Amino acid sequence: MINVNYRIIFYKFGVMKFLGHLDIMRYFQKAFKRAKIDVSYSKGYNPHMIMSFASPLGTGLTSDGEYLDVSLNEDIDNKVLIDRLNEQMVDGMYIAGAAKLSDECKNSMSIVAAATYLVSVKDGYNQEIYYFKNIFREKIKELYSSDEIKVIKATKKSEKEVDIKPLIINIDYNDFDYSNSCAEIFDNQIHVVMTLSAGSENNLKPELIIKALCEFCNINYNEFAYQYHRTEMYYREDDDAIKPLLGKDAYDMLIQRELFVNSN
Amino acid sequence: MKKSMIKSALKDELLLKVEKPARYIGNEFNMVRKDYKSVDIRFCMCFPDVYEIGMSHLGIQILYDMFNKREDTYCERVYSPWVDMDKVLRENDIPLFALESQTPVKDFDFLGITLQYEMCYTNILQILDLSKIPIYSKDRDDSCPIVIGGGPCAYNPEPIADFFDMFYIGEGETSYKELLDVYKEYKKTNKTREEFLRRASRISGIYVPSLYNVEYNEDGTIKNFEPVYDDIPKKVKKEIVKDLDASSYPEKPLVPYIKVTQDRVVLEIQRGCTRGCRFCQAGMIYRPVRERDVDYLKDLAIKMLESTGHEEISLSSLSSSDYSKLQELVYYLIDEISSKGINISLPSLRIDAFSLDVMSKVQDVRKSSLTFAPEAGSQRLRNVINKGLTKEVILKGAMDAFISGWNKVKLYFMLGLPTETYEDIEQIAVLSDEIAREYYTIPKDERNGKVSITSSTSFFVPKPFTPFQWVRMNTVEEFLEKQRFLNGKMKEQLNYKSIKYNWHEAETTLLEGILARGDRKLCPVIYDVYKKGAIFDAWGEFFKYDAWIETFKEHNIDINFYTTREREFDEILPWDFIDIGVTKKFLWNEYNKGKNEEVTLNCMTKCSGCGAGTFKTGVCLKVKG
Ligand code: SF4
């Protein structure tokens, strides 16, 4: 039996943001079945599809850059794979690309090193809009220029204070390009783009930065006032540069972001 | 590829505050999308319990599919908002909305509520209340949907009669067409709600409670039950599908995101049951039994698996072993789909060579268990209830299974059956022990570890349209005494360490008993207890037993009138206006035969002339009297 590993990039938006990671896994299992794609199963008494995700997306977040690795018992063209899966997607899910991976590939979960997020203030949260209008990016710049950014990080066992500044890879103060993105566009236009360290060891959630920002500005952090949207995930090259996950170990790849129209 | 079009009725913040937001977003794969503004009829289908339960119900999927096949109709869904969402909706004054269009339920033409169990009655009031539809039908005007109830509890709709504009008695596949056509006509001509209801009451299977008058005797029994106008039928005849293969079945069922109770394809192989157990309502109301064609089922199974991506399929029916082509169907499914990583979940089958063979093929023998439902411990009492399962059959079935490697057995019994004595109850313990003894006759080195027997008892609730519809139900004290007695007897058994005894809550049973055979006098009680905060009564953690008892008292209602009172043959029962085919006389004869411990043969062996032959379909056409 042949065995080909694929990496798939997908979007998650609209009401689908209310689904948790486990439900998304179940959703993909059924979608692969419907698409009649021959996914490999694990051995043992309770066989399950060999499928893994780079990094679970929290409930409430949207994304243009979710990664799914899957092992197939067939070699199908990337385009065919993408199209067949897209036929089985609901509103709020879009398959944007696929790559065939070399045999030595590592799964995306183990190599993810960074992620980019678009953080926006949601419409209707007038206190935040009033405060941050025109100064959101400046305030973040100020915060970022401090020597350290201390936050309380809660783990399962304890709470400890850590400096998250080293985990911030880049902050982009330019306007976000919404074309081909599923990100929600808000009337207030307050937003910023940041690239943060990700992965099992040094994962930094964008919420922590916004929390630190609110503390820095002396305003309350309202967890519902911000929309977090992931745009891409990366692995780290030997020279320390970060590159989108889809390209890693890929010998054949297709990206169709341009077919997605943001009709927001 | 474009962005999502449907806007959620709730803003993000509210959805993120509740436990499982996916219960309220709709958007499931295979969900039907139409422009609700351009259809003639908007029908909102409701299962009055939480999403995970409601989404598992086959009946709704059948009707959803059937309604949406009509171009002029858009059928959407709503389920009971869980307590956290209930709070969110009330606090923010947001009207309850349907999942598909995310628009208010109140804007629909129909709100159809399926009535699967009595304990959901307060949830119905929650749905109406949150939808801002007046709870009492008399308070509704033309701006409100027509509220229609259906399902098994509609066979005695009286305790909830005041909350419904109409009920649909029987199987949904038949009369809805006419009902919707008539409605469309009335809507076009701008006729009133009253005019529509009166016209609808003449459609077969439709019962409009406001058009019937009930008078009571001094003792609370019914004196008179009469239609208000001459042109309204005195009796409402249940609707039944004559040819199941020609009726609607969803080839593309909805696929929920969150794990629901039935997370699989459900294939209904037949409807009804020929066995005639005297306590069983389903066995009477779905008569006569009708099978689906096996080739049709094979085709359907594959189509539904392909259209959903489910990894499991289950066969559904009462007494599945009686389906004539069961072997052919099951072996086909095993050959066709087991290899594709799809599980087959078997219904409980009579234990024989066939069932042991297929069970060993589709289950892990060491993990799965054998199921028997003798319902009563002694042969005497099994004859009373007409349960044709003998001890010999159980012991032989168990032994055959033990030899093939099984070592887990589940047994189901009822306490409080008519004529039951303490000897009968003791026999439950004895039978459980005998099965264990049977196991230990196998030489030790051939056994598969220890045997484990789980015996469960529920309390018997007399139901309308059964031979036991007249009988006295036990009191809570009697139930508990019997349970304690049995628990003691279990401990006296030689193999008591191998037997686990499970039991039910007596309080829930009491309420079920009151509501099952209740009349219209209970409507205000249900209303008041709802106003006191009762919802999700079927969920132990929310069941407000004391509030119920208190409310009965406030209304001067003697619970025993409904539960422990033995009825006379000529008493007018609240559900007597419904004609299920099976006659009252047959039921009464069955009751008396039961008291005399006489059994009645099943339809396939011999027709007992129950009356369902009037439908001229199914098994009645095959057997001779
Ligand atoms: S009429 Fe005879 S065959 Fe038909 S359902 Fe009744 S008992 Fe069974």
Specify the pLDDT at position B3.
52
Cα–Cα distances in angstroms (integers) from residue B516 to residues B152, B476, B513, B608, B621, in the given order: 11, 16, 5, 27, 32
B522-540 pLDDT, tens per residue? 999 999 999 999 999 999 8
pLDDT tens digits, residue range A225-240? 999 999 999 999 989 9
pLDDT band at B1 (very low <50, low <70, confident <90, very high): low
On whether both A128 and A34 belong to a single domain, the answer is no
Residue B354 in 3-state DSSP? helix
Strand-pair category, A51-53 with B212-216: unpaired
- Say how many C-beta atoms besides its own lie within 10 A of residue B609's C-beta: 13
Please indicate, yes or no, if residue A67 is contained in any of the structural domains: yes
**B233 reaches A (C-beta below 8 A):** no
Query: Comparing A250-259, B151-160, B510-519, which segment has the lowest mean pLDDT?
Result: A250-259
Alpha helices in B1-41 (DSSP H): 12-17
* Cβ-based contacts of B23 with chain A (< 8 Å): none
CA distance A156 to A14: 31
Average pLDDT over residues A169-178: 96
Share of residues in chain A with pLDDT > 90 (%): 85
| Chain B residues whose beta carbon lies within 8 Å of the beta carbon of residue A185 | none
Closest CA to B583 of B544, B604, B614, B556: B614
d(C-alpha B209, C-alpha B158), whole Å: 8
Say yes or no: A122 and A168 in one domain: yes
Give the ipTM of the model, two decimals please: 0.93
Q: B613 CB under 6 A from ligand 1?
A: yes
C-alpha distance from residue B492 to each of A223, B63, B93, B456, B486 (Å) = 60, 51, 59, 17, 10
Q: Please check the confidence at residue B362 and state whether its pLDDT lies above 90.
A: no
Q: Whose CA is closest to atom 2 on ligand 1?
A: B607
pLDDT, position B2 = 53
Is the domain of A92 the same as that of A123?
Answer: no
d(CA B244, CA B151): 17
Mean per-residue pLDDT, B568-583: 96
Q: What is the pLDDT of residue B234?
A: 96
pLDDT tens per residue, range B37-46: 999 999 999 9
Full residue range of the structural domain in which residue A224 is found: 112-236
Residues B137/B101, Cβ–Cβ less than 8 Å = no
- Per-residue pLDDT for B105 more than 90? yes
Asked if residue A242 belongs to a domain, the reply is no
The least confident of A169-173, B441-445, B549-553 is: B441-445
Q: Separation of B27 CA from ligand 1 center, angstroms?
A: 44
Report in angstroms the alpha-carbon separations of B302 from A28, A37, A74, B243, B450.
Answer: 20, 16, 22, 21, 39
Residue A99 resides in a domain: yes
A38, pLDDT greater than 80: yes
Task: Look at residue B342 in the predicted model and tell me its pLDDT.
Answer: 87
Tokens 């066989």, residue located: A47
Strand pairing partners for B265? Answer: B313
User: Is A86 in the B-facing interface, judged by CB distances under 8 Å?
Assistant: yes
**Domain with A71 in it: what CATH number?**
3.30.70.580
- A203 and A252 in one domain? no
Task: Using alpha carbons, select from B383, B318, B203, B386 the residue that is nearest to residue B618.
Answer: B318
> B26: nearest CA in chain A?
A15
Q: Which residues in chain B are contacts of A124 at CB distance < 8 A?
A: 11
Q: Is the residue at A23 inside a domain?
A: yes
Residue B354 CA to its chain's centroid (Å): 29
What structural domains does chain B harbor? Answer: 3-237 (3.40.50.280), 264-363+581-625 (3.30.750.210)
For B317-440, strand residue ranges (E) read 343-345, 370-375, 408-415
Residues A130 and A226 in one domain: yes
Phi first, then psi: give them for residue A188, nearest 5 degrees. Answer: -70, -15
Model pLDDT, residue A245: 94
Q: Do A261 and B3 touch (CB under 8 A)?
A: yes
**Better-predicted residue by pLDDT, B351 or B5:** B351
Q: What pairing do the DSSP bridges indicate for beta strands A4-12 and A51-53?
A: unpaired
A161-164 contacts at long range (C-beta below 8 A, 24 or more positions apart): A164/A204, A164/A208, A164/A209, A164/A212
Q: Does B339 touch chain A (CB under 8 A)?
A: no
Nearest to B257 among A27, A34, A224 (CB): A27
Look at residue A6 and tell me whether its pLDDT is greater than 80: yes
Within this chain, do residues A217 and A252 fall inside the same structural domain, yes or no?
no
Residue B593 Cα to ligand 1 midpoint, Å, equals 17
Under an 8 A CB cutoff, do A261 and B2 touch?
Answer: yes
Half-sphere exposure of A177 (CA within 13 A, CB side): 4
Q: Residue B565: pLDDT band by 50, 70, 90 thresholds? A: very high
Provide, as residue numbers in chain B, all residues whose Cβ is less than 8 Å from the Cβ of A32: 309
B246–A contact, CB cutoff 8 A? no
pLDDT exceeds 60 at position A216: yes
pLDDT score of B285 more than 80: yes
What is the overall mean pLDDT for chain A? 94
Mean pLDDT rounded to a whole number for chain B: 93
Domain assignment present for residue A188? The answer is yes
pLDDT in tens, B117-152: 999 999 999 999 999 999 999 999 999 999 999 999
Total residue count of chain A as it appears in this document: 264
Average pLDDT (B601-615) is 92
B373 CA to middle of ligand 1, Å? 23
Contacts of B189 (CB under 8 A, 6+ apart): none
Contact list in B for residue A224 (CB cut-off 8 A) is 12-13, 16
Query: pLDDT value at position A44?
Result: 77
In terms of Cα–Cα distance, which of B507, B511, B547 is closest to B118?
B511
Please state which of the ranges B359-368, B580-589, B611-620 shows the lowest mean pLDDT.
Answer: B359-368
- Partner-chain contact A259 B8, CB within 8 Å: no
Per-residue DSSP letter, B587: H
* A75 and A14 share one domain: yes
Q: Are B464 and B285 in contact (CB under 8 A)?
A: no
Please report the DSSP string for B486-501 in residue order. Answer: HHHHHHHSTTGGGEEE
In this prediction the pTM is 0.94
Residue A192 has pLDDT above 60, yes or no: yes
Both A228 and A124 in one domain: the answer is: yes
Q: Is residue A259 part of a domain?
A: yes
Indicate whether A40 pLDDT > 70: yes
Tokens matching residue B65? 């599919």
Q: Are residues A21 and A97 in the same domain?
A: yes
**Is residue A60 domain-shared with residue A142, that is, in the same domain?**
no
Q: Is the pLDDT of residue B412 over 70?
A: yes
Task: Tell me the pLDDT tens digit for each residue of B251-278.
Answer: 999 999 999 988 899 999 999 999 999 9
Residues A230 and A142 in one domain: yes
Q: Express each pLDDT in B306-346 by its tens digit.
A: 999 999 999 999 988 889 899 999 999 988 887 777 888 88
Closest Cα to atom 1, ligand 1: which residue? B613
Residue type, B393: V
Element (H, E) at A152: strand A150-154
**Mutation test of the interface with chain B: which of A25, A29, A30, A95, choosing the one with the most B Cβ atoms within 10 A?**
A30
Pair of tokens at residue B604 = 């396939």
Count of structural domains, chain A: 2
Whether residues A126 and A101 share a domain: the answer is no
Do B475 and B564 meet the contact criterion of CB atoms below 8 Å apart? yes
- Examine the pLDDT at B430 and tell me if it is beyond 80: yes
Any domain includes A241: no
